[in-house]
Amino acid sequence: MSKRKGSNAERELLNMLWAASWAAIRSAGSGSMHFPSPDILAGNGIRRLAIEAKATKDIKKYFSPEEIKQLINFAQYFGAEPWLAIKFSSSWVFVNPEDLRKTANNLAFFEKDAENKGLSFEKVVNG
């Protein structure tokens, strides 16, 4: 995924969160800093979400174990729920890191698993 495509997906998700009455910010330099930082932090006064946002035209999205470890660690320190938000084609799927499949070297989420293991944006933000 190009950096521009990723940034556009993050901005789209940021706008969706604000439209759903959640405060949200993009984390500058996420993925390139020494400290773990998710792409987006969001909260509604009751819940806090640490979100790693990705967009793909493929039928699957891979994550490194280190990337997932950092998301979970940050969420624990911050008191937030760790989520992966994956945009497959035109729809967003929210995935709990525990629902990723192990592959030989990475972790993956497959679009076909979205119905059983993923949540829609509406389900995540509306509880």
Q: Which of 6, 87, 8, 10 is nearest to 41 (CA)?
A: 10
What are the structure tokens assigned to 80, written together? Answer: 């937030």
Contact 69, 54 (CB under 8 A): no
DSSP state of 119: B
Residues carrying an active site annotation: 30
